Structure 1
């Protein structure tokens, strides 16, 4: 059966065609109305590649034309997934006559359409009641299965999609809040974990400012709570500041001190060396800064004792010399 398509002369007097379309638009519109893929129902399958080949255009030009015909002229609707195009005014000019051959052809072609939502757009402009009934029956079958392909159904589907997007956004915001709350909770937990040492500082050294608080927390994380507290206790005994405690911690770090038992071992080693030096060794030992004051105080005490003994011996010797001189003078006088 030979196929032919009618173009009414009113096509050229249509204001949309004569005033709004460029020569290229008119050529493209005539191609969409008369190419070999067209169907009796105004919905047919055609690829962009075939359009470009038939018209001698590039794919980019075809994309631009389709976009303009859908958004500006609003005379076609193209589904890139099913590669089907609907000529929205087709029913107005090409579905006016009925008859069994036409109706049979329409029924057959309606069954071949993949995107049934395109039929609803064409059906709006069909004036022939028999053909319109066939379109409506096909759309009723569609609604019985899924009403989302009709215009109202599409709106509902879009609303559902928007609701889903909102739910996703809300869930995302809740996840962010939960992560933030967890992070803040962890920070608060670490601060409360060190609260006992912070309290020790404030009770014995004074007000705790943020800078020193961060330093204390750094040393706790690096060396442990026990060693930091021990360094602060030694500092308190020497009546020094936090800077002195930091010096102790740095000294312990350089000596690989990792526990209180290591500290006690260092103290015992220092006492042994000091005892050895007091028994006549001239060897000098480098002592930790945090024990330096104790050594200096002891050295001063030892030095002061030596000077005192020397002065006492000197006084005794001078007294004995004076007595001897007095005796010699007395003997000379008698003679």
Structure 2
């Protein structure tokens, strides 16, 4: 498919041709023609990039932006730039996973939360979704009660009887009440 148009680029090219055919009375200057040609070329390049990204990871930048908009609202230009930086510095599947974590946590600032997660993963050398899952399992294992030491039960608990109350000697009672 390298060097050929994708379906969306072809549709856009046809749309531009129809628009030119509808407006025959307007003069088209050479700068407009070159602008149209450069648009077609850029559309083809974007489609090629999208296709190669899809083949490599299965996740496109567009998928990340769509997820953000559907879960957090409209993306401002600054947040858009931050998301692009995240995808340049990290695998796209990790960026998407960090945004999903921000969504699950109901973070007030999902970009900042995702940034924090990505930085933490980078410090821990986490580079794939498998690494993320491994880290989550380790964290849940640490927080579970299974690994906590259990204090042995007193002897009276094993024989089914409650302990009998022992009486204090007068010396113990005096020390107890005097605070010694």
**Structure with more contact order per residue of length (Cα contacts < 8 Å, sep ≥ 6):** 2
